[in-house]
Structure 1
Amino acid sequence: MDEIMETPPVQPPIDYAHRVAMYDMDRTITRSGTYSGFLMHVARRRQQWRLVFLPLVALAGIGYSLRLIDRSQLKAINLRLLVGKRFNRAEIAPLAESYADKVIARGLHGAALDQIAADREAGYRLLLATASFHLYVDAIARRLGIDDVLATRLDEPDGADHIHARLAGDNCYGEAKFARIADWLAANEITRDAAHIRAYSDHVSDHPMLHFADEAVATTPSRKLKLLAPKMGWQVVDWRAKK
C-alpha cells in the first residue's frame, strides 16, 4: 500500500472575493476523537458515581454497531448517562473550558496548526464544521482563532439555565453537515462562484464537503477516504508526522 507523504501547507490561490477554509475537527485537527473524552472529563470532575454507567455506554455502542440506534441517539444516550438528562449551564461551562485547555495542550496535530496559520495568513475565513457538541467545541475554536463554528447543538431553551441531553436539530455529520455549510454560506452572502474554498477532513463521511471544495485535502485519512481521495483528485497528507 502506498505511503501517505508529509507535504507542505497548501499554497494561496488567485484572488477571489471570498476565501474560506473549512476544517473538520475530530482526527483532522485533533489526534483523536473528542466526544468520549469530553464526557469522561465531565463525569470524573463533576459526578464520579456516573462512571458506574460505563457498561451501559458500552452497550449503547454495541447497539449502534448493530444499527439498532443511530449516531444521534447514541450521543444523546451517552450524554444522559455520563452528564445527566438536564444540567446547569453555569456548572458545565468551566468544565468545557478546562477540557478545551486539555485538548489544546496535548491533543492537536502540529501540522494542522501550521495549515490553519497558513490559511489565516493567506486571508482565509476559517470555518470549523464538526459533529461534536457546540458545548465544548466553541471553547476549542476560540483557542485556535477559528472565525466560525458549525457543530451539533443541544436543546438549550431560550432564557433557561439548563441544557437538556438531547440534540436540537440534526447531528452535524455527513450530508447534514454539508447542509449546515450551505446555510452558513447563504447567511454570509458567500456565493460559490465568488469564493475559493478549501476543505480538510480525515473521514469519508465528509465527502460532500470535500467534493464541494476547490481544494480538498484528506488529512491522515481513514481507510475508505484514503482509497477514495486519489480517484477524486484530492490531496492526501499525513499530519501525524509533525509533533
Structure 2
Amino acid sequence: MNLTLFDLDHTLLPIDSDYAWGQFTIEIGWTDPVEFARKNDAFYAQYQAGTLDVHDYVRFAIDAVRRQGATNSIAAHARFMRDVVQKNLKPEALALVAQHQRAGDEVLVVTATNEFVTRPIADVFGVKELIAVQLERGPDGWFNGEIRGVPSFRGGKVTRMEQWLAARQLGWADVDSTFYSDSINDLPLLEKVRHPIATNPDDRLRPLASERGWRILDLFSKS
C-alpha cells in the first residue's frame, strides 16, 4: 500500500485552522475579544515552541463550542468554512492531494487540530480518512471539552497511525509511507515514515530537513 499522510495547518492550508476558528468565535461574539485573544496567542506561541499542553489547549479551544451547543456550533462552522477556509484553499495543495489520490494512494489527513474544526476541511480536500484530536461527548451527546483517546499531537500522531494500521492488520513495513508536514512538532512521525517531506517547513524543521537530506517542498507562502 502507498500511504500518503498530510498535516493540515500550514501544510495544506496557509493558515492554522484551530487559531483561525478561535479568531472567528471572537468575530461572531462568542468570546471576549481581549481575554480570548490573549490566551489564544499564548497557546499558539507554546505550540510553535513545542511546549503546548494539548489537554489544556483543547479545553480552552472547544469551550465556546461546548457552551453554544450542537445547532449553533454546526451553523457557525458552516459560516467559518465559507468566510475563512474557502478563501485559504490553495490550488497547489488541492492538486497535490488529488495527484496522490489519482495514483491510487491511501490518503489521510493527520492533524493536531480537533475533529470539530477539521472534519469539514478534510472533506473539502476529498479526504475521507482523518486522524484528528478526538473529542469526548457528555450525557447530552455534545462535546464536553475533554480529549477522547490519544491526542494526535507530536508523538501521539505516531501512536494514532499505528492504531490505524493495526486495525487493518498492517504495520509500517507493509506500507510505502510518505508524510508532508511543516512543523518540528511532527518530527516523530516524519522520522517514522519512509519518505518525509518538509512542506513549507518552519524555521526549526527546514535546517533539520536539509541536514538529513529530506525533500523540502515550498508549496505556497504561509500567512
Range into which the TM-score falls when normalised by the shorter chain? 0.7 to 0.9
Residues 195 and 85 of structure 1: CA distance in aligned 2, closer, same or farther (over 3 Å): closer
Worse-matched range after superposition: 112-121 or 35-44:
35-44
Q: Secondary structure at the match of 1:178?
A: helix
Q: Does the CA contact (< 8 Å) of 1:23 and 1:199 recur in 2?
A: yes
Q: Write the deviation string for residues 124-162 of structure 1: whole angstroms up to 9, x where unpaired.
A: 1110010111002111111110020011122213x6343
Equivalent position of 1:29 in the other structure: 12
Among candidates 185, 191, 212, match of residue 211 of structure 1? 191
Question: Comparing 159-168 with 191-200, which one deviates more in the overlay?
Answer: 159-168
Q: What residue is the counterpart of 1:51 in the other structure?
A: 33
Note the C-alpha offset of 1:169: 3.5
Change (3 A) 1:185 1:103: farther
Name the counterpart of 2:106.
125
Unaligned runs of 5+ in 2: none
Residues 6-61 of structure 1, C-alpha deviations (whole Å, 9 max, x = no match)? xxxxxxxxxxxx1211000010001021112112223433x446335336526854
The offset of 1:229, in angstroms, is: 0.8
Q: What whole-Å deviation, never above 9, does each CA across 1:201-227 have from its counterpart, x for those lacking one?
A: 001111122122222110110111101
Aligned to 1:137: 118
The alpha-carbon deviation at position 67 of structure 1 amounts to 9.7
Distance in structure 2 (CA, Å) of the matches to 1:67 and 1:126: 26
Q: Is the 8 A contact 2:18 2:117 kept in 1?
A: no
- Displacement of 1:167 in angstroms is 2.5
Q: Select between 136-145 and 167-176 the one with higher mean Cα deviation.
A: 167-176
Q: Which residue of 2 aligns with 1:146?
A: 127
Please say which structure displays the higher CA radius of gyration. 1
SS at match of 2:32: helix
How many residue pairs get aligned? The number is 221
Partner of 1:7: none
In 1, are the aligned partners of 2:19 and 2:40 still within 8 Å (CA)?
Answer: no
Equivalent residues of 2:182, 2:200 under 8 A apart: yes
**Equivalent residues of 2:135, 2:143 under 8 A apart:** yes
| Aligned residues with identical type, % of pairs | 20
- Whether the 8 Å CA contact 2:134–2:147 is kept in 1: the answer is yes
What are the ranges of 5 or more consecutive residues in structure 1 without an aligned counterpart?
Answer: 1-17
Structure 2 equivalent of residue 107 of structure 1: 88
How far is the alpha carbon of 1:69 from its aligned partner?
7.0
TM-score by length of structure 1 reads 0.79
**Distance in 2 of aligned mates of 1:107 and 1:219:** 17
Mapped to 2, the partners of 1:123 and 1:62 lie a distance apart of 36
